[in-house]
Amino acid sequence: MSFRAVFIAVVLGTALLIAAFMVHRYRPRVVIEQPSAAFVRASGKCAECHANLEASIVHEYELSVHARKGINCLDCHHPAANQQGQEHHGFTIAAHLTAGNCRSCHEPIYQQYLRSRHAAAAWAGVYGSGDFTPEQIAIGETYHPGSCRRPANPLTSLEGGPLSQGGCARCHSIGRPNNDGTIGTCTACHTRHTASVEVARLPSTCGQCHMGADHAQLEIYNESKHGVLFAAQRSLLNLAAPPQQLTTHDMFVPTCATCHMSGLGGRGVTHDTSERLSYHLFAPITEKRANYTLAQAHMKDICRNCHTQPLVDRIYQEAEQVVVSTNAKVQAAQTILDALRKDGLLGPKPFAHPIEFLYFDLWHYYGITAKHGAFMGGADFVQWHGAYPLVKNTVEIEAMARRMRREHERKK
């Protein structure tokens, strides 16, 4: 071969390489960042198509512990027990995923979750017991008597289907009944593809549902010393620490999950968020739970990883006094309504008279908020979102009740 031929070949070859590089540079990112052959094999070929269709979803999955441990797309997406399958480009996938698709590998966690009020009780609080099997009701009633065997909440029919589905059902779906016989959705806290404990430990994750006038836990937390320190020191915390080995060196500031779920100092990690609660704070009149002593000891054990006993005892004593005092105020208002009902001034139909809204706001917004604030460090919520409007509504209820009685007398 002559020198000229070699020279032309080299020049042409270089030009082609440069051209290829230029063309490649201007191709869209999703095309350049094709998953490697090994990744495609590991994900069961699903990523081959879906990295182009929904790059973000595949990327979330790539970040997960699941991807690192070789759990592939089909491991979650194949039909679990009692699920309908559908053909999908040569695979069979389930039309809808539920806790049943996680349970297959995380059964003990599913069982813990079933014991919590996040399971059947959450859905029954809105739609009543009708959507559950008798066995599911029995489990819920064993751990939380009265939580599952009850009628639908009257607000659902007052507000109507679309509003209660877009509101109540979105949050309370954490315990929804699924067609495959399982309950709930694990991805309410873990997200579907990241499936991470890091996300689940964030206050904002719980705050998706635990916020607002009737359960202002997120706002209370943000006001507390814990919330302030979390905002300041978040980058120093090891939010991804493995749950079984979690210590206060990883999480020296608590989030919702630390107090209600994490394992610390010998107390095991749990998906039963009811395990450490000693009161029914969400009730109009708060009473002790059946397992009061044990549950309170469990929570105090968690505090004791970071605090001295006198501090913890003082907070509980103060909060328990707030419960007693709030109960007395709610009881006084309730007595007024009971008397109106007894004397025939209020009918049996709920939410039919303005005074019932005053009373509902009194216990459901202000009473609950004061009690939650007292246990979780939110002084403003005990006071200006709690005690003060509680007193104000009491005065309004008294005045309205007097007016109702006067009008009633006049009509006689």
The Cα 262–Cα 270 span in angstroms is 7
According to CB under 6 A, which one of 24, 41, 59, 307 is a site residue for ligand HEC? Answer: 307
* Burial (Cβ within 10 Å: 0-12, 13-18, ≥19) of residue 124: buried
Q: Minimum Å distance from CB 17 to ligand HEC?
A: 32
Using the minimum distance from each CB to ligand HEC, give the nearer residue, 133 or 208.
208
Q: Which of residues 189-208 bind ligand HEC (CB under 6 A)?
A: 189-190, 192-193, 195-197, 200-201, 203, 205-208
Using alpha carbons, list the distances in angstroms from residue 307 to 167, 248, 267, 329. 39, 11, 16, 32
Q: Which of residues 142-161 bind ligand HEC (CB under 6 A)?
A: 147, 153, 155-156, 159
The answer to whether 345 touches 404, Cβ cutoff 8 Å, is yes
- Stretch of 15-23, 132-140, 214-222, 329-337 lying at the interface with ligand HEC (CB under 6 A): 214-222
Compute the residue count for the chain: 412
| 234 near ligand HEC (CB under 6 A) | no
| 168 near ligand HEC (CB under 6 A) | yes
| 298 near ligand HEC (CB under 6 A) | no
Provide the token pair at 230: 């979390």
Using the minimum distance from each CB to ligand HEC, give the nearer residue, 323 or 387.
323
Q: Minimum Å distance from CB 406 to ligand HEC?
A: 33
CA dihedral 90, 92, 96, 101 (to 10 degrees): -130
Sequence-distant (6+) residues with CB within 8 A of 174 are 118, 122, 184, 185, 188, 209
CA dihedral 51, 53, 55, 61 (to 10 degrees): -70
The Cα 370–Cα 324 span in angstroms is 11
| 393 near ligand HEC (CB under 6 A) | no
Q: Minimum Å distance from CB 15 to ligand HEC?
A: 36
Query: What amino acid is encoded at 18 in this protein?
Result: I
The Cα 156–Cα 412 span in angstroms is 36
Give me the 64-103 binding string for ligand HEC, x by CB under 6 A, dash otherwise.
Answer: -xx--x-x-xxxxx----------xx-x-x--xx-x-xx-
| 59 near ligand HEC (CB under 6 A) | no
- Stretch of 23-31, 296-304, 336-344, 400-408 lying at the interface with ligand HEC (CB under 6 A): 296-304
Q: Which residue has the tokens 């999480």?
A: 251
Using alpha carbons, list the distances in angstroms from residue 187 to 10, 99, 190, 199. 57, 8, 5, 11
Q: Minimum Å distance from CB 128 to ligand HEC?
A: 10
The Cα 189–Cα 197 span in angstroms is 9
| 366 near ligand HEC (CB under 6 A) | no
Using the minimum distance from each CB to ligand HEC, give the nearer residue, 194 or 394.
194
| 213 near ligand HEC (CB under 6 A) | no
According to CB under 6 A, which one of 299, 358, 382, 390 is a site residue for ligand HEC? Answer: 299
According to CB under 6 A, which one of 83, 115, 125, 382 is a site residue for ligand HEC? Answer: 125
Q: Which of residues 244-283 bind ligand HEC (CB under 6 A)?
A: 244, 246, 248, 251-254, 256-263, 269, 271, 273-274, 277-282
